[in-house]
């Protein structure tokens, strides 16, 4: 019909005059992707992050140097052909260690983000759907958690619980579970607040009322109607959370309270390198640059997503 | 500002202290490990003695009783005895606290001095080249972890150029100007690391706060009265835009303390942050608990100060 509408009819139906020119229609996802690509830095960051992820997934399969092969003959060497990123004080190959450790650093970021987003969405949805006392209490708890000193508390929990978990799950797995649980457990508050705010406005919208009128259960209203519409800001907050979690994990490892020494996460390698700054600066520079690149890329991607997923913003 | 507002804010802070103390205590109570575990495996000590000891130290009391006991002791300043330093925990922390406060204070000052002009200039011409550069640098600033910037600065200014010392010393001998200069020199790097990290996130807040204000009618009025642009920005825009920034500075305090722990560790600043880490390395639990409690109290105190300042700067808040 569009395009063949007579001009006289357009007076009573002005909305139809818009599709008079052939306009390509985009699905919401394609539209978001189109907007995302407009943000040049975000797009470049996405490429950088994809490269990093591919490198840590497939790198150890290609670069088959063991991460713990000790060779005192070539210790603290700068970058050479045999060791492209140099070696540490035990002569272990840094490239292999960084590739392997990157898996853990990035995995911690993603896993802690999932914990934070899950808890945040649950708390926020519960607070947003129930009004009155439950809402007030949940928000009080959220504010309380927001005013906790994060890093000291993180350190405290690790300090008190690490030995116990190590004996149950093993040193690496135990630390992994503990680190993602507490980083996630201390970062859900912004998501909870966002989700609650979204829910408060969305649950009064007509389409939700329509669903309610059709007899949709509360759960169905939330899962099918409200949550999908509240997801945009949550995705953005979740992206930023990945960066924050990577930073938190490397901070813990850098303070010597994260992963055990034989698990070369980027922060841990930096911790080992910091006493050799004068003799072997490359040892500290490469893991630091890796953390910086990953975090910067994720932050820019979050910024790009903020532009792409905000329906009120008109870009090109 | 009314006295009512002050009292209301103080009363709101009390449940927060209780909440945080409950969180701390439950972490401590849930933690595995029994102080009398060693006695259980020692065959020379009969179980009755162990039970009697447990009863004597109140370990078998109901949990709320133990909490009250612990809270009262904390509030009275009875924080226990440091095993490694051989002195009372409260004295030890009081000794270290001023250094931390000086470092945090001066880095916050640096952050504000850098962030406000940059944020205001960026907001005056949004999406200009200056704005984009400032925005990019802000992103780089808060993506660079403090421990990495610290190491980079040490590498450049201490190892390569040999301009600045990379170990902070509290006991520099001498007096007068050279003594002050030594102190300034050794604080430059820790304060810069922490301050620039803070400034990076602050710039974005300042920019959006100024953008919120700069389009308002009263600014147009001020301009149309013929007041110079400079005066409009400084006297009319910035003064109002900075009100929410005050709150944000205070809300950032937990992050600042986190950064302070890291920087103190890198530069070996003898503050409570490095005390916390060394206490953890030597399993000195009373010190660990004490320092965490102090950090929590400082955070609440800064939130309270921000609330009160906010009420003072923006009288509308106090009457809500």
* Chain B residues within 8 A of A303 when measuring between CB atoms: 139
pLDDT in tens, B273-309: 888 888 888 777 778 888 888 888 888 888 888 888 8
pLDDT of A122 reads 92
Are the beta carbons of A149 and B258 closer than 8 angstroms?
A: yes
B192 found inside a domain: yes
Please tell me the distance from the alpha carbon of residue A52 to that of residue A293, in angstroms, as a whole number.
Answer: 9
Domain with B200 in it: what CATH number?
1.10.3720.10
pLDDT in tens, B92-104: 888 888 888 888 8
Per the model's pLDDT, the better-predicted residue between B1 and B230 turns out to be B230
Is the predicted pLDDT of residue A118 greater than 90, yes or no? Answer: yes
B82 found inside a domain: no
pLDDT in tens, A87-112: 776 767 778 888 888 888 899 999 99
Cβ–Cβ contact B138 with A under 8 A: no
Please tell me the distance from the alpha carbon of residue B28 to that of residue A157, in angstroms, as a whole number.
Answer: 8
B109 found inside a domain: yes
- Mean pLDDT, chain B, rounded, equals 81
- DSSP-derived 3-state class of residue B82: strand
Locus of tokens 């790198």: A59
* Count of beta carbons in the 10 Å neighbourhood of residue A227: 17
* Chain A residues within 8 A of B258 when measuring between CB atoms: 149-152, 251
pLDDT of A116 reads 92
**How far is the CA of B14 from the CAs of A132, A141, B21, B304, in angstroms?**
22, 14, 11, 10
**Which residues from A are below 8 Å from B when comparing CB atoms?**
41, 140-141, 143-144, 146-153, 155-157, 159-161, 163-164, 243, 247, 250-251, 254-257, 267, 270, 274, 277-278, 281, 284-285, 288, 291-292, 295-296, 299-300, 303
B54 found inside a domain: no
- DSSP-derived 3-state class of residue B81: strand
Are the beta carbons of A40 and A23 closer than 8 angstroms?
A: no
pLDDT of A11 reads 44
* Contact between chains at B140 and A296 (C-beta distance less than 8 A): yes
Q: Strand ranges (DSSP E) for chain B?
A: 81-82, 87-88
Structure confidence at residue A123 as a pLDDT band (50, 70, 90): very high
Per the model's pLDDT, the better-predicted residue between A297 and B90 turns out to be A297
* Contact between chains at B276 and A150 (C-beta distance less than 8 A): no
pLDDT of A76 reads 65
SS3 labels along chain A: CCCCCCHHHHHCCHHHHHHHCCCCCCCHHHHHHHHHHHCHHHHHHHHHHHHHHHHHHHHHHHCCCCCCCCCHHHCCCCCCCCCCCCECCCCCEHHHHHHHHHHHHHHHHHHHHHHHHHHHHHHHHHHHHCCCHHHHHHHHHHHHHHCCCHHHHHHHHHHHHHHHHHHHHCHHHHHHHHHHHHHHHCCCHHHHHHHHHHHHHHCCCHHHHHHHHCCCCHHHHHHHHHHHHHHHHHHHHHHHHHHHHHHHHHHHHHCCCCCCCCCCCHHHHHHHHHHHCCCCHHHHHHHHHHHHHHHHHHHHHHHHHHHHHCCCCCCC
Please tell me the distance from the alpha carbon of residue A246 to that of residue A241, in angstroms, as a whole number.
Answer: 8
The beta-carbon neighbor of A156 closest among B27, B139, B281 is: B27
pLDDT of A111 reads 93
> What is the chain A residue with the closest CA to B279?
A159
Contacts (Cβ under 8 Å, ≥6 apart) of B73? B79
- Mean pLDDT, chain A, rounded, equals 80
Locus of tokens 């640059």: A289
B251: containing domain: 3-20+89-319
* Contact between chains at A149 and B298 (C-beta distance less than 8 A): yes
The beta-carbon neighbor of B291 closest among A152, A257, A285 is: A152
* Count of beta carbons in the 10 Å neighbourhood of residue B120: 21
pLDDT in tens, A157-193: 888 887 777 777 776 777 788 888 888 888 898 899 8
* Chain A residues within 8 A of B21 when measuring between CB atoms: none
* Count of beta carbons in the 10 Å neighbourhood of residue B176: 7
A125 closest CA partner among A242, A203, A187, A216: A203
* Contact between chains at B145 and A159 (C-beta distance less than 8 A): no
B155 closest CA partner among A74, A275, A91: A275
B36 found inside a domain: no
Are the beta carbons of A83 and A95 closer than 8 angstroms?
A: yes
Q: Number of structural domains, chain B?
A: 1
Rounded to an integer, the average pLDDT of A219-246 is 87
pLDDT of A120 reads 92
B110 found inside a domain: yes
> What is the chain A residue with the closest CA to B29?
A160
B116 found inside a domain: yes
- DSSP-derived 3-state class of residue B106: helix
* Contact between chains at B151 and A274 (C-beta distance less than 8 A): yes
- DSSP-derived 3-state class of residue B1: coil
Structure tokens at B91: 């004295």
Interface with A, mutate which of B134, B145, B201 (most A CBs under 10 A): B145
Q: For chain A, how big is the Rg over CA atoms in Å?
A: 25
B67 found inside a domain: no
Are the beta carbons of A61 and A96 closer than 8 angstroms?
A: no
* Count of beta carbons in the 10 Å neighbourhood of residue B206: 26
ipTM score: 0.80
Cβ–Cβ contact B32 with A under 8 A: yes
- What single DSSP character describes residue B48? H
């Amino acid at each position: 019909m569009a395009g063949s509408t007579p001009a006289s009819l357009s007076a009573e139906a002005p909305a139809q005059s818009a599709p008079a020119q052939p306009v390509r229609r985009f699905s919401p996802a394609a539209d978001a992707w189109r907007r995302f690509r407009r943000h040049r830095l975000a797009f470049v960051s996405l490429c950088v992050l994809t490269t990093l992820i591919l490198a840590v997934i497939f790198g150890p399969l290609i670069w088959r140097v063991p991460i713990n092969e000790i060779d005192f003959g070539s210790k603290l060497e700068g970058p050479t052909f045999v060791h492209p990123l140099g070696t540490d004080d035990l002569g272990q190959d840094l490239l292999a260690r960084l590739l392997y450790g990157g898996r853990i650093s990035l995995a911690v970021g993603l896993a802690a983000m999932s914990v934070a987003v899950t808890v945040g969405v649950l708390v926020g949805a519960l607070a947003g759907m129930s009004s009155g006392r439950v809402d007030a209490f949940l928000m009080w708890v959220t504010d309380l958690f927001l005013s906790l000193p994060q890093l000291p508390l993180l350190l405290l929990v690790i300090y008190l619980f690490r030995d116990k978990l190590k004996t149950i799950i093993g040193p690496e797995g135990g630390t992994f579970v503990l680190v993602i649980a507490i980083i996630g457990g201390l970062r859900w508050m912004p998501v909870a607040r966002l989700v609650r705010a979204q829910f408060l406005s969305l649950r009064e919208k007509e389409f939700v009322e329509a669903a309610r009128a059709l007899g949709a259960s509360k759960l169905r209203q939330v899962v099918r109607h409200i949550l999908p519409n509240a997801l945009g800001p949550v995705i953005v907050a979740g992206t930023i959370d990945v960066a924050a979690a990577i930073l938190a994990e490397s901070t813990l490892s850098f303070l010597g309270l994260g992963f055990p020494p034989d698990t070369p996460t980027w922060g841990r390698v930096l911790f080992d390198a910091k006493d050799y700054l004068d003799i072997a600066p490359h040892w500290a520079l490469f893991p630091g640059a890796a953390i910086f690149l990953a975090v910067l890329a994720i932050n820019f991607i979050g910024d790009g997503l903020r532009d792409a997923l905000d329906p009120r913003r008109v870009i090109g | 500002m009314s006295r009512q507002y002050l009292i209301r804010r103080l009363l709101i802070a009390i449940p927060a202290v209780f909440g945080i103390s409950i969180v701390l205590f439950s972490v401590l109570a849930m933690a595995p490990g029994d102080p009398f575990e060693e006695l259980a495996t020692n065959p020379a000590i009969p179980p009755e003695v162990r039970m009697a000891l447990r009863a004597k130290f109140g370990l078998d009391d109901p949990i709320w009783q133990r909490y009250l006991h612990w809270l009262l002791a904390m509030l009275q300043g009875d924080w226990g005895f440091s095993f490694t330093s051989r002195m009372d925990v409260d004295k030890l922390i009081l000794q270290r606290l001023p250094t931390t406060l000086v470092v945090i204070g001066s880095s916050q000052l640096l952050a504000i001095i850098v962030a406000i002009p940059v944020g205001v200039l960026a907001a005056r011409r949004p999406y200009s080249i200056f704005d984009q550069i400032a925005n990019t640098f802000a992103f780089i600033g808060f993506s660079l972890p403090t421990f990495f910037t610290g190491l980079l600065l040490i590498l450049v200014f201490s190892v390569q150029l040999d301009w600045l010392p990379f170990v902070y010393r509290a006991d520099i001998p001498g007096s007068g100007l050279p003594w002050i200069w030594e102190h300034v020199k050794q604080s430059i790097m820790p304060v810069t690391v922490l301050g620039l990290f803070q400034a990076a996130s602050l710039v974005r807040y300042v920019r959006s706060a100024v953008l919120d204000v700069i389009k308002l009618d009263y600014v147009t009025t001020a301009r149309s009265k013929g007041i110079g642009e400079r005066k409009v920005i400084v006297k009319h825009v910035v003064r109002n835009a900075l009100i929410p920034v005050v709150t944000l500075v205070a809300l950032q305090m937990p992050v600042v303390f986190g950064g302070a722990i890291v920087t103190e560790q890198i530069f070996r600043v003898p503050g409570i942050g490095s005390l916390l880490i060394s206490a953890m390395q030597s399993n000195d639990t009373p010190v660990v608990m004490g320092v965490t409690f102090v950090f929590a109290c400082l955070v609440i105190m800064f939130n309270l100060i921000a609330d009160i300042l906010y009420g003072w700067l923006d009288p509308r808040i106090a009457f809500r």
